[in-house]
Structure 1
Amino acid sequence: MTKEHRYLGLSYAEVEERKGRGESNEALPPMTRSLKQIFLENSLTLFNFINIVIAGFVIYTGSYKNLLFLGVIIVNTTVGIFQELRAKKNVDELALLNQAKATVIRNGQQEEVSQGEIVKNDLLMIKRGQQIVVDGQVIRTSGIECDESQLTGEADPVIKDEGDTVYSGSFVVSGNALIEATKVGKESYSSKLALEAKGEKSIYSELVQTMKKIIRILTFGIIPVGALLFLSSMLGDMTVNQAILGSTAAMIGMIPEGLVLLTTVALAVGVIRLTQKRVLVKTMGSIETLARVNILCLDKTGTLTSGELKILKTDVIGKLTPKEFGAMIGHVAHDLNEDNATGLALMKAFPVTADSWPITKTIPFSSARKWSAIEYQQKGSVVIGAPEYLFDSFNKELTERMHLATTEGLRVLAIATSQEAIIEQDLPHSLNLEGLIFLEDEIRAEAPQTLHYFMEQEVEICIISGDHPQTVAQIAKRAGVKNSDKLIDMSKVSEKINYQTLVRENRVFGRVSPEQKRSLVEALQANGMTVGMTGDGVNDILALKKADCSIVMANGSDATKGIADFVLLDSNFDSMVGVVLEGRKVVNNIQRVASLYLTKTIYSILLAALFIFISSPYPFQPIQLSPISTLTVGIPSFFLALRPNVAPIKGRFFQNVLEPAFASGLSVVIFAMGILFLGNQFGWRYEETSTVTVWMTGMVCFVALYYVSKPSNWKIMTMISLLFSLFLVLFIFFGRIFSLVSLFQWHLAVVYVPMMLGVIPLFYGLKYIAHRLLGNHHYAK
């Protein structure tokens, strides 16, 4: 800890006194749900409630074996709670590591404390890149500028002078300051904004939206259809027990009880795997979003490159000697004391000298200005920044020298002096070029391989940076980015430029302002792209918030980490591959297994609707659905949901799910009606009709299971073979338990054996029809 001589801050006794009065700040809310929420939201679901009501009716009949379906519900609920608790534990541990600290002065010493430990009247030191967490008054400032767009909607930074108020929820885009906390916790003017809307954006999840759509449809269908089926059965001279068991079987079949659970579990497992790779996932839905990203916008510094600049050489151009030039840079760099990559490189290369120069004014670096400046009482003004932002033109020799440097991927800084004063935030007049400094930013070792992977996976790469476009293009070329020659200098484009056309024709953008970064992301989205954005500095915040999915390295600013969907805690760009792969596994596998769950839903709804008008008992009892659900859906779905299926996401999730579900569901209905007709013709008993219907339903579901398991391998075939063997064993040895008669009877075999031969052609024929009706053939083309 360093000592702050001028300001003592609160004593520890004063801090404790304010805590006792309740004048302490509020900690950030946890990113995960509480234990109570997890238990309640996994247990008290609509479908669980319907199942409990159904169980009550089954108990009334006295047929207790038909309550077997409750075991599945209990197991599903337990598994869902367990996996979400595991994910919560992992995320909470990583969130604690990633939590931003505030620097306060207490007893004359600088200390780092958590946001919740700040008390009223604490002195806080804030700097560029930090988000302000309390309302406060500026005590001392070094050119601080705040982005208050979350409060006011105005994107332009606001300059803060001594005595001005700063608000929680805003973040520092330039300079540093010492502030006194005047309002903390709930007293804070914007505490709700800072705590609950800390840069959050809604995450669109097609998985979740599809599940909600299915639940919404079924909610309005299950109870009315079940009630009508019960009334129809009673009017058809069936016993009350027969009517109840038939109606409850239909209603149980309509409920895809494991589908919502499986989605949650698959996402939770994805989160757990990513946290084990030290990737902090803010929301489970963001895994799916990144999996759908088809263009990745990268900020060069800190993403493609390490962000640690190294000075290669200096060219002294003015009247100063190399020694005088170095001494001047040393003074300016250490007086500005900026902790960005450029400032740190300058301070390391140019040590501070013993003599001090009295300072009149400082203007810290800003991404919008692209320069910083300092005015001394007797030495005049010194400006450091991008050459083209300080001077309109250069002579031919300097132009060629800088062009050669940028084509080699170097960053060029111009050092200029003036005897004129700095007025407000403008450049001083009569600038004289004193020299150039050439810096190199090292490409991350893993960047070329990672970019190559994304391009192989049909994810386009777009480089958006504040550096010179030639420098950015050269870095992009060395990292292996395609079309790195398609570059544009955004400082020279008109305000009226068509951004949608711009992003169609170019993939490397240099000299981009924060507002332009956001506009480029918006244009890509308007062109139908799903945009992922990486960044680490305050100049990236606007674009990160606008992107569909945002990724920030752990060494990024507090403000960017606060709004990111993912934080790579090892600051390893290669970790993004793992994030995309996990998302693709979840989406692809859920899409496949959802078809299995909806097969049962579709045939149950159709059969229930038909049997309202048919004077015959419903062909299933509740207990007979349990082996079908368990062996053809429940068990295989958990294996299939975790397969390493990392193919690119193609979209049309709902249509892709419905296609095989429609084919298999309608196949079951056709066979069930055929069995009912033939059974009536041959004088079969209800138990015989029901047994053959259960058998043929299983055959259809196993064909559907084989289809959704593609591409199959020996493990998949072994799983399907074992499950089919269990299904057969159930009929042979446990038929009485499941209200089934023996299949080994000639008068039954003459019906179900020919039907078995027709299962595969019927399923694929109906799937072709569904493919055309749902429009998937147009999308495939």
Structure 2
Amino acid sequence: MAEQRVDTDGAAAIEATGGLRPKGVRHDGLTSAEVAERIARGEVNDVPVRSSRSTSDIVRANVFTRFNAIIGVLFLIILIVGPIQDGLFGFVIIANTAIGIIQELRAKKTLDSLAVIGEAKPKVRRDGASAEIATSEIVLGDLVELGSGDKAVVDGEVVEADNLEVDESLLTGEADPVLKHPGDRILSGSFVVAGGGAFTATKVGREAYAAQLAEEASRFTLVHSELRSGISQILKYVTWMMVPAAIGLILSSLLREERDSSEAIRRTVAGIVPMVPEGLVLLTSVAFAIGVIRLGRKQCLVQELPAIEGLARVDVVCLDKTGTLTEGGMDVTGLKTLGGADEADVKKVLGALGESDPRPNASLKAIIEAYPDTEELRCTESLPFSSARKYSGASFNDAEGESSTWLLGAPDVLLPEGHAVLGEVDELNAKGLRVLLLGRAAVELDDTGVTQDVTPVALISIEQRLRPDAAETLRYFAHENVETKIISGDNAVSVGAVAAKLGLAGADRTVDARQLPTDKEAMAKVLDENTVFGRVSPQQKRDMVAALQSHGHDVAMTGDGVNDVLALKDADIGVSMGSGSEATKAVAQIVLLNNSFATLPSVVAEGRRVIGNIERVATLFLTKTVYSVLLALLVVISQVPYPFLPRHLTLLSTLTIGVPAFFLALAPNKERAKPHFVRRVMKYSIPAGVIAGTATFVTYMIARGYYTGPTALAAETSSATLCLFLIAMWVLAIIARPYSWWRVGLVAAMALGFIIVMVTPWLQDFFALKLVGATMPWTAVAIAAVSAVTLEWVWRWVGRRFPD
């Protein structure tokens, strides 16, 4: 029969066939001329596919901040009253902002290039031929083909449907797949769970359903970032402390009779500048950006930056066996006929079953390779494989016109419990083999009781190829106290055998998910006690993730098939393989483009590095803020000049916070992230800041009583600077623990930098620092030493009194 061209523009195709697809009619899609015409009219799917912020957003976010505005105003004031060395803090902010922008742009480049590699490539039929194109190249009226695992990228109407089952749960919340017929509407964001077909694009670009939802942010929420929200909370606290302290300092300066107004202004600015934790947000952005770049080099696409942090907090990883612990390819290792069936006839049926499915899964591909179609059987009806059904089927007519219906799937699903054949299946499963049953059905394929009376004809053994790096990765998670749960749709015994080969603890205790309780609390208890679960349905995977979360676990879910989508979406972190279905890649926060399960430890390690190190440097920054606010309040109360000029605090901040924090933020850190980020940072930084501020002010007041004459203020400032530097260095020494050669070298280098300033004449003049006599400098050292001992005791007491 000659192929018939059917118009696919809008609903015309459906109207032309009365809502049904006539047998033998083929839809050829748009012609090249029609595509060009639509592109000229702007009817293109022009939604920007962007994996990261735009360049303008990055620049705006780094430059136009509240604290940059404060620092900028103070910098302008110093430029007016001079000298320039008191405005060094302004140049530091400019450099910091530039570093932040450069690193984020580098991260953006990495993300965008990886996103292109991992971007969905829908199949579109034009001029009668199918071809993969970029999502942005789809035009209104295009005929888009769909297969199992494919995601609808635009809205449309179904024109071809071959048992097409679509999951719209990501859009509607309804978990049950919807069987689509020609004429039915299909929404962008939905995905195919079984069957195949094609639809005409009726809405593209920003008019598509998923695009509108994304813009409204009504469904697709970003990963929660405790680090991001915690830093925002800290900055809010800082603002509350900073505003009254700064106002008090300004009023105190105005009310006091000052012989040198420029000096008073400089010291007032010096009191305000260190209250701002300007580098904290910068270092957080830099740490995340460098993390993205590092992971990008390992072909890991981080679709949401806080996902790095999220995986660092994970304490349970749920793994799907197929495609995660095993490679995609499979091999048929055995065929056993049952009930006296002829092996030649069985191979003939298996070949025909393989040919009947236009989009075979991995198991069926192995069968197709082992048993090619002989073309002796003609398929009259087919039922594609569904992970919910766990079987596929087809009806055939032979040369004599005799019809037969065959099912291929899980033996324990197609046969009743206790059937003799299941004993043989268990023996094969125990060897780690996947076993499929070929059975002949007694009724038609569309009968609801098609599995009720199946005659077993043959068992097909299929061996999955283990990933060479899977065992090592599982050992890594065990060493890092991250529980591993194997959740698979395969037979539980078979899954347990594979897990045992990989050396997973608890692999000998397998659970058939069909026996799991439906109550969340009861299910969570079973999950806590066991490791390997088989015959898990897609909905159960989702329920199991929720049950683990109900017991306080941070759950990561990995997968590559459509049966994993619901669980991936609900998990704290979803991880998809690059070769997985478009649906899984769409909902996952992390995509392993190289399909290597071994990349996961790198992601976990990167997250731990970011979280642990940002917590370290946040303590440094907040300690500075606390002692700066305290010093300002003490100065206001005692009505004395502020002890420092801006250049002094720029020097101190650079040596005790700025430079060390940069290196500490990028250092290795394997400690698992803990909750309550703000509480932990504040419980250490507040006492440290109070001790440093009090000791510095005491040193300053003693020096005011000791020194006299026109140069007294400079000598007082130098003594206070020495005391504050020593205490700040001790805080740095505590933060840098546990020590390694480079951490000791870092602390020593900062101390050496201060010594060089204090002994070099031109640097003494530049920073206005010169120790006068021996009494006050040694007094400052003694006060700093007492403060260091107090700091050590308080730090330990806080750790015991308020454990993490």
- TM-score scaled by structure 1? 0.95
Instruction: Tell me what 1:492 maps to.
Output: 515
Q: CA deviation at 1:328?
A: 0.7
Instruction: Tell me what 1:764 maps to.
Output: 792
Q: CA deviation at 1:657?
A: 2.6
| Structure 2 residue corresponding to 1:373, chosen from 375, 383, 393 | 393
Instruction: Tell me what 2:188 maps to.
Output: 168
Instruction: Tell me what 1:135 maps to.
Output: 155
Instruction: Tell me what 1:281 maps to.
Output: 302
Report whether the alignment pairs 1:473 with 2:496: yes
| Structure 2 residue corresponding to 1:709, chosen from 733, 736, 739 | 736
Contact 2:188 2:208 in 1 (8 A): yes
Contact 2:442 2:450 in 1 (8 A): no
Instruction: Tell me what 2:344 maps to.
Output: 323
Q: CA deviation at 1:409?
A: 1.2
Unpaired segments ≥5 residues, structure 1:
none
Alignment of 1:715-754 (within 5 A): 715-733=742-760, 734=762, 736-738=764-766, 740-754=768-782
| Structure 1 residue corresponding to 2:706, chosen from 676, 682, 691 | 682
Q: CA deviation at 1:31?
A: 1.1
Report whether the alignment pairs 1:154 with 2:182: no
* Matches of 1:690 and 1:75, distance apart in 2: 27
| Structure 2 residue corresponding to 1:382, chosen from 406, 410, 431 | 406
Instruction: Tell me what 2:12 maps to.
Output: none
Contact 2:516 2:523 in 1 (8 A): no
Q: What secondary structure does 2:718 align onto?
A: helix
Contact 1:119 1:184 in 2 (8 A): yes
Contact 1:514 1:539 in 2 (8 A): yes
* CA gap 1:568/1:485 in 2 versus in 1, 3 angstroms: same
Q: Per-residue CA shift, 1:588-629, capped at 9, x if unaligned?
A: 221112222112111001111222211111111211101101
Alignment of 1:183-222 (within 5 A): 183-193=203-213, 200-222=220-242
* Matches of 1:462 and 1:27, distance apart in 2: 38
Contact 1:139 1:177 in 2 (8 A): yes
Q: CA deviation at 1:714?
A: 2.6
Q: CA deviation at 1:677?
A: 3.1
For the aligned residues, what is the CA RMSD?
2.1
The amino acid across from 1:559 in the alignment is: A
The amino acid across from 1:164 in the alignment is: D
Report whether the alignment pairs 1:423 with 2:446: yes
More displaced 10-residue stretch of structure 1: 553-562 or 53-62? 53-62
Contact 2:222 2:304 in 1 (8 A): no
Instruction: Tell me what 1:618 maps to.
Output: 642
Q: Per-residue CA shift, 1:33-70, capped at 9, x if unaligned?
A: 11111111111111100111212333443444311110
* Matches of 2:145 and 2:701, distance apart in 1: 83
* CA gap 1:379/1:518 in 2 versus in 1, 3 angstroms: same
* CA gap 1:199/1:384 in 2 versus in 1, 3 angstroms: farther
Instruction: Tell me what 1:569 maps to.
Output: 593
* CA gap 1:416/1:111 in 2 versus in 1, 3 angstroms: same
| Structure 1 residue corresponding to 2:280, chosen from 250, 256, 259 | 259
Instruction: Tell me what 1:110 maps to.
Output: 130
Report whether the alignment pairs 1:543 with 2:563: no
* CA gap 1:436/1:690 in 2 versus in 1, 3 angstroms: same
* Matches of 2:268 and 2:448, distance apart in 1: 77
Contact 1:199 1:563 in 2 (8 A): no
The amino acid across from 1:748 in the alignment is: M
Instruction: Tell me what 2:697 maps to.
Output: 673
Instruction: Tell me what 2:13 maps to.
Output: none
Q: CA deviation at 1:195?
A: 7.6
Q: CA deviation at 1:300?
A: 0.5
More displaced 10-residue stretch of structure 1: 261-270 or 763-772? 763-772
* Matches of 1:671 and 1:214, distance apart in 2: 24
* CA gap 1:659/1:430 in 2 versus in 1, 3 angstroms: closer
* Matches of 2:784 and 2:202, distance apart in 1: 78
Contact 1:731 1:740 in 2 (8 A): no
Aligned length: 772
Q: Per-residue CA shift, 1:248-298, capped at 9, x if unaligned?
A: 212211111111101110111111011011111112211111111111110
Report whether the alignment pairs 1:96 with 2:128: no
The amino acid across from 1:623 in the alignment is: R
Report whether the alignment pairs 1:433 with 2:456: yes
More displaced 10-residue stretch of structure 1: 137-146 or 664-673? 664-673
Q: What secondary structure does 1:540 align onto?
A: helix
Instruction: Tell me what 1:84 maps to.
Output: 104
Instruction: Tell me what 1:39 maps to.
Output: 59
Contact 2:150 2:583 in 1 (8 A): yes
Contact 2:193 2:562 in 1 (8 A): yes
Contact 2:295 2:603 in 1 (8 A): yes
The amino acid across from 2:441 in the alignment is: S
Instruction: Tell me what 1:526 maps to.
Output: 550
Instruction: Tell me what 1:647 maps to.
Output: 671
Q: What secondary structure does 2:653 align onto?
A: helix
More displaced 10-residue stretch of structure 1: 398-407 or 677-686? 677-686
Report whether the alignment pairs 1:15 with 2:15: no
Contact 1:279 1:566 in 2 (8 A): yes
Q: Per-residue CA shift, 1:394-415, capped at 9, x if unaligned?
A: 544x232111111111111111
Q: What secondary structure does 1:365 align onto?
A: strand
* Matches of 1:440 and 1:659, distance apart in 2: 55
- TM-score scaled by structure 2? 0.92
Unpaired segments ≥5 residues, structure 2:
6-24
Q: What secondary structure does 1:612 align onto?
A: helix
* Matches of 1:199 and 1:470, distance apart in 2: 38
Instruction: Tell me what 1:629 maps to.
Output: 653
Contact 1:288 1:586 in 2 (8 A): yes
Q: Per-residue CA shift, 1:436-478, capped at 9, x if unaligned?
A: 1111112111111111011011111111111111111111111
The amino acid across from 2:138 in the alignment is: I
* Matches of 1:161 and 1:478, distance apart in 2: 45
The amino acid across from 2:328 in the alignment is: G
* CA gap 1:644/1:417 in 2 versus in 1, 3 angstroms: same
More displaced 10-residue stretch of structure 1: 244-253 or 10-19? 244-253
| Structure 2 residue corresponding to 1:512, chosen from 532, 536, 540 | 536
* CA gap 1:224/1:663 in 2 versus in 1, 3 angstroms: closer
Q: CA deviation at 1:756?
A: 4.0
Q: CA deviation at 1:702?
A: 1.1
* Matches of 2:773 and 2:449, distance apart in 1: 96
